[in-house]
Structure formats: structure tokens, C-alpha cells
Amino acid sequence: MSAKHASPAPLYAVSAEFASPEAVLAAARALRGQNLGRLDIHSPVPLDGAIEALGLAPRAIPQMMAVGACIVGFAAMMGLCIYATAYDYVFNIGGRPLISWPAFMVPSVSFATLLGAAAVFLNMTFLNRLPLLNHPAFNIPNFERATQDRFFLTVEPRHDVFDPVAVERALARLALRAVAVHRVPR
Amino acid sequence: MISPSSTRPKPLVSSIIAPGQTFESIGGTIADIAFTHPMRRRWWVAFAFSLALVGVLGAALLWLFIEGVGVWGNNIPVTWALDIVAYDWWIGVASGGLLVSALFQLLGAEWRSALNRITETVSLIAAAAAAVYPIIHLGRPWFFYWNLPYPNTLLLWPQVRSPLFWDAVDILSFLVVALAFWYIGMIPDFATLRDRAIARIAKKDDKGLLRAQLYGIVALGWRGSALHWHRWTQAYRIIAMLGVVLVVSLQTGAAVMFAGSVEPGWHDTLLPVAYLFAAIFSGVAFIAVATVLLRAIFGLSALITPRHLDVLAKLLLILGLLNLYCNATEFFATALGGDAYDAGVMHRRMVGSQAWAFWTIALASLLPVHLFWFAAIRRSSLALFVVGLLVALGLFADHFMVIVVTLQHDFLPSAAHPYTTSIWDIATFIGSIGLFLALMLLAMRYLPLVSIVEMKRLAQSVHGRRP
């Protein structure tokens, strides 16, 4: 384990590099209750149980966005068709009903999925603050392997009081030890 | 999320990825295709051939724009011919691909991992090939926006009860959903490619700074944070569900568009389901062909195993049976239904001037899939390739039969008029195939056509928890 000391720049986080998903999840569980800072995991694949291990409770925003956008999309297209045929440009042929809604179902359902997919995608990028081409996480040494085969646990300062030494001690007490621990500048 | 591997029988899962594959080897195998460009000459030959076909498309379109849609041999009453046939065929392939990849995603079958990216890409590029048609088949394509509801000085609306308007909304929706589904899955893989490109520069293997920057931009700065992965997984699944809804709406909507007319042969209540099955059938056929090609060209047999070929063959067999059921039911319903005009159309389909279409369906798409009752044939790349092409051809004939045979003779003998396809019509269609191939080859060259993330998740669940 190597630790850099007395880094003059303000810290982004203390990072610990692990070789396996079990190790990083165990480390997250161990550090979670100690109120050391904000925990995050960077991994090449989505890890089952990572959210629970970090003690995060994300809300079901994407689901609500999807349902909301689909309802809006459906209503908008159906409303457009009804407004066009029954109110703004009435052109009745053969006494057929003006609001012939079955004929408007196909574009309405399609448009609902269009708005739903666009909303869910944009919502994902917005909540994740992407695109963000530079981020302090990229200062972590060896971080390019976060998309290959390494798992990184970061402890970021959450309050004004942040003790990197305490984080490093907590990391040193782990049963499955980190491959490397670094103080990462902003 | 994938369920833990401990509940799965070992022999089954170990046959969907070669033993000894690690995170590192998977990322390397797939990324190296994008970086080192294996089979350079073969790729260039194929690409040059595809570009030549795109040139044919350009020439055909130029002549079309100069002379008008008459060059296609369309007439009254056959106002729709290969333009709508080819559009329906391409959008069917795209729909089938999107539905299958969305179901792969939602059902979480472990064998999907190696296939879902190819499936999504086939779907997206087929939709792009389809998207050529709705605009060019308009008599005055430069007024395509007349289809859209926009404020205009004449205070006119598009006819929102018309399939032309529905098609405009449908194709737009399809492109957005398919693109969102494809791209969201690709973001983490782009990040992998970005980081490998940077590592290669550091090792002086490569001067590809521009490449690293480009992959970096399209990766949106992805860094694999746990919360990001959580939202990514949710969004991926929701878009997959929306994709399923859209495909069902699109294909059943196509049947509604036909049923909106009075023409005989277009009103069976089974048709919405039949069109959906036909679309999935053609989509899987394309996926089978693309998978075999990708596996052979880039030597990916460690990631795409005989078991994947087996799954695709079984899917083709099942879909062949479903399509056989739909065709047979339509036949019996017409024969016993008592409508003389419907029966007349059915008769002309089998023995009329375009009877080749019916027999192509029977012999090319419905019959050859029965080879896949035999396990040895299911695992043969060549058989899958040939049968996939035949099925795609058969379903093209299916769309041709449904549209042209009805149109050229509906009710009154005096209104009947024969139709022959023109060389320009065929050139346009062949050109659209060239467009598909060219885009597919570019995708194979520059994009990870096997999902790196999915393969790593698979390796993680198969080879125990250690990567």
C-alpha cells in the first residue's frame, strides 16, 4: 500500500483500488457507517448490490419521467389530431364522426414512446451530469483501468472536516486489502 | 441485473463463453478490432463493393428526381410497388431487431450478451435504410415536410387519418427510440475504448490521439460511478420496454393502415399479429447472417460460440412455425370465409402472374427453417447464414405479394392492370442494401460490435466472482 502525504492541492478524495468486485463492495460496507465522507465506487461493470453497499437510496425518477413523458406524448399527439380534424379544419366526408380516435391511436402511441425514450435518455444524462469530459476522478492513478478490470472506492470530503488519515487507517483495517491507496488532488 | 451465477447450471453457461476469458481478454479482443483493424484487405474489398452499390442508389435516385416516380414502373392501380415493399421489409427487419434486442435486455438471458449489440446495430441501420424510402417515394420529395403539422400560410393541416402521416410519426419515433437504445448501451463501451486508446498512446503502440479524443467525446466522460451505473441500468431497461411497445404499435399499425382501405386481402383480423411475427422473423434472419459474418470475419468464436448459433437457429425455427401458422390460418379463413374477392386474391397469389412471390415465401422462408430440427445443422455457421438469407428473401416476397397482387386486380376486371418491376426500382432497392452494408461495415470497423460491458458481466457470473 502506498500513500502520498502532504499534497498541497485541495483533495478531491482518497481513492482505493481493488482487484475484485467482492473486495470493493466489502470495503464500501465497512466504511459506510464510519461517517468518513461521501463514498462512491467506480467499476467497469454495474455491480449488483453497489447501491446498497454505499448506503445510497436513489429515487425512482426515471420511471416517473418515462410514465409522465409517455402520457404527455400520447395526449399531445391525440390532442393535435382531434384539434385538427374536429375544430380547426373540419372537413367531413360522408357524415363520419369527426373525433375518429381509433385512427389517431397509431401516431399517438408511437409519439408517446418517442417522448418517453427521449425523456429517459436525457434524464439519465442530466442526473449523471453527463457529458462531463473532465472530472477529478480521472486524476486517480491507474484510473484508466476503471473501465477495464479494476474497482475504485473513493471517499470524498462531505463536510469541512475531512481527515484523509482516518480514511487511510480504515482502509488499512480491511480484510480484503486495496491494491493501492492514493490521495487524489482536485 | 443478472441473477447470481450459483443458481445456474454450470455446463449450460460455460458453453456461452469460452473458458479462461477475463475482463482484460474480453476488452482486448473486442477493442482490438476497433484499433488494429484485422482483415484489412477483405474489409476494404467489402466496403468498396458496398460503396459501389451506394453509387447505384445515387444514380437511381438522381434519375428518379429528374424523371419522377414513373421510372419505377408503378402505375394505376399499382400505385405502390417496390418502394413500399422495400420500406416495409426494411422497417420489418428493424422492428424485429429492436424487439429481439429489447427482449434480450428485459429477460436477461445470459446468452444474449454476445448478441445484443449486433442486434441493436442491425436494427438501427435497417431503420436508416428504411428511412430513405418515405421521402423518395413522394412525387415531390422536396415537399416532404408537408407531411408534418407545421404552421403554414394556407392554414392547412396534414390529413391525420392518413397512413402517410402515421408513417411519418412512426419512422421518426423508431429512429429516436432505436438510437437512444443503441447509444445508451454503447456509452460505457466507448469509455473502455477511450481508456484503451489512451493506454496505447502511453505505451507508444499508437499515435491515435484523435481516436482517443473522439471516443472520449462520444463516451460523454463516462467514469463508471455506482450511481451512474444504477441510472444507466434503469434507463436502458425502460427504453427497452418502450421499444417493445413501439414495435408492437408500428407493426400492428401497418396492418391497420392496410385495413383502412377497401381492397380485398388486407382485412383478416390475424394480420396485425402476422405482420409482427413476419417482422421478428426477418429481424432474426438478419441478425443470424450478421452474427455469422462478424464471427467469421473477426475470429470471435471465443465470444460468439456454437451455442449462440444454436439459439438463433431455434428462434428461426420457432418464428418459421409461427409464420406458417399465420399463413395457413389466413388461407383457411379466406377459403372458408365466403368472400369471393378475398378468395380471388388468394387464388391469384398462388397461380397469378406474380405467383413467384407466394412460392418464394413457401420455399425460401417457411420450408428451410425445418432443417433446424437437427442439432448438428443448428450449430453450423454456413447453414445459419444460408437459411438467414433465404428467410430474408422470402419475407421480401411476402411484402411484395401482399401489396402488388391485391393492387393489380381488386374488384372490377376493367380496373385490373398488370405490373412489371422496372430496372430503376430494383436498382434503388439494391442501392439501399448497399447503404445498409456500408454502414454495417463502418460500424464493424469502428464500434464495439460485441458489448464489452455485457460480456464482462457474463464472465463475472460464469467464471465465479473474480474477474
Residue B379 corresponds to which cell in the numbers above? 450449430
Alpha-carbon radius of gyration of chain A:
26
Three-state DSSP string of chain B: CCCCHHHCCHHHHHCCCCCCCCHHHHHHHHHHHHHHCCCHHHHHHHHHHHHHHHHHHHHHHHHHHHHCHHHHCCCCCCCCCHHHHHHHHHHHHHHHHHHHHHHHHHHCCHHHCCCHHHHHHHHHHHHHHHHHHHHHCCCCHHHHHHHCCCCCCCCCCCCCCCHHHHHHHHHHHHHHHHHHHHHHHHHHHHHHHHHHHHHHHHCCCCCCHHHHHHHHHHCCCCCCEHHHHHHHHHHHHHHHHHHHHHHHHHHHHHHHHHHCCCCCCCCCCCHHHHHHHHHHHHHHHHHHHHHHHHHHHHCCCCCCCHHHHHHHHHHHHHHHHHHHHHHHHHHHHHHHHCCHHHHHHHHHHHHCCCHHHHHHHHHHHHCHHHHHHCHHHHCCHHHHHHHHHHHHHHHHHHHHHHHHHHHHCCCCHHHCCCCCCCHHHHHHHHHHHHHHHHHHHHHHHHCCCCCHHHHHHHHHHHCCCCC
A183 forms beta bridges with A14
* B152 Cβ contact partners less than 8 Å away, ≥ 6 residues apart: none
Residue B467, amino acid: P
Distance from CA of A97 to the nearest CA of B (A): 12
Domains in chain A, number: 2
For residues B217 and B121, give the distance between their C-alpha atoms in angstroms, rounded to a whole number: 20
Residue B17 corresponds to which cell in the numbers above? 463463453
Q: Please identify, among A108, A127, A146, the residue that sits at the C-terminal boundary of a domain.
A: A127
* A21 assigned to some structural domain: yes
CATH (domain of A49): 3.30.70
Interface contact B232, partner A, CB < 8 A: yes
Task: Give the pLDDT score at A161.
Answer: 76
Task: Give the pLDDT score at A9.
Answer: 67
Check whether residue A47 and residue A25 sit in a common domain. Answer: yes
Task: Give the pLDDT score at B467.
Answer: 40
A184 forms beta bridges with A13
CB contact under 8 A, A124 and B184: yes
User: Distance between alpha carbon B395 and the CA centroid of its chain, in Å?
Assistant: 13
Residue of A74, A85, A124 to mutate when probing chain B, most B C-beta within 10 A? A124
* B185 Cβ contact partners less than 8 Å away, ≥ 6 residues apart: B116, B117, B120, B236, B451, B453
Distance from CA of B171 to the nearest CA of A (A): 9
Residue of A61, A128, A150, A184 to mutate when probing chain B, most B C-beta within 10 A? A128
CB contact under 8 A, B457 and A45: yes
DSSP annotation of A128 reads T
Sheet holding A151-156, edge to edge: A38-42, A151-156, A11-18, A180-185
Check whether residue A73 and residue A118 sit in a common domain. Answer: yes
CB contact under 8 A, A44 and B192: yes
Residue A30 corresponds to which cell in the numbers above? 465497512
3-state secondary structure of A144: helix
Domain ranges, residue A67: 61-127
Check whether residue A51 and residue A74 sit in a common domain. Answer: no
CB contact under 8 A, A130 and B235: no
Strand locations in chain A, DSSP E? 11-18, 38-42, 151-156, 180-185
Nearest to A20 among B188, B230, B467 (CB): B467
Run means of pLDDT, 10 residues per run, chain B, 467 residues: 38 58 79 75 90 96 91 88 92 94 84 84 93 86 86 87 88 94 93 88 75 91 92 93 95 90 91 95 94 85 87 95 96 90 93 94 95 94 96 96 92 89 94 95 87 84 55
Check whether residue A69 and residue A120 sit in a common domain. Answer: yes
User: Distance between alpha carbon B369 and the CA centroid of its chain, in Å?
Assistant: 19
Task: Give the pLDDT score at A148.
Answer: 87
For residues B458 and B5, give the distance between their C-alpha atoms in angstroms, rounded to a whole number: 9
For residues B445 and B33, give the distance between their C-alpha atoms in angstroms, rounded to a whole number: 7
Check whether residue A48 and residue A136 sit in a common domain. Answer: yes
* A145 assigned to some structural domain: yes
For residues B453 and B403, give the distance between their C-alpha atoms in angstroms, rounded to a whole number: 43
Q: What percent of chain A has pLDDT over 90?
A: 41
Check whether residue A30 and residue A77 sit in a common domain. Answer: no
Nearest to A146 among B183, B223, B457 (CB): B223
B107 forms beta bridges with none
Task: Give the pLDDT score at B238.
Answer: 95
Residue B23 CB neighbours (<10 A) = 24
Interface contact B308, partner A, CB < 8 A: no
Interface contact B198, partner A, CB < 8 A: yes
User: Distance between alpha carbon A80 and the CA centroid of its chain, in Å?
Assistant: 35
* A3 assigned to some structural domain: no
Task: Give the pLDDT score at B13.
Answer: 44
* B284 Cβ contact partners less than 8 Å away, ≥ 6 residues apart: B96, B100, B312, B315, B316, B319
**What is the tens place of the pLDDT at every residue in A115-140?**
999 999 999 999 999 899 989 999 89
For residues B456 and B467, give the distance between their C-alpha atoms in angstroms, rounded to a whole number: 8
Interface contact B382, partner A, CB < 8 A: no
Provide long-range contacts, Cβ within 8 A and 24+ apart, for B249-255: B249/A106, B249/A109, B249/A110, B249/A113, B249/B170, B250/A110, B250/B91, B250/B95, B250/B170, B250/B173, B250/B174, B251/B92, B251/B95, B251/B275, B251/B276, B251/B279, B252/B276, B253/A105, B253/A106, B253/A109, B253/A110, B253/B166, B253/B170, B254/B88
Check whether residue A67 and residue A102 sit in a common domain. Answer: yes
Residue A136, amino acid: P
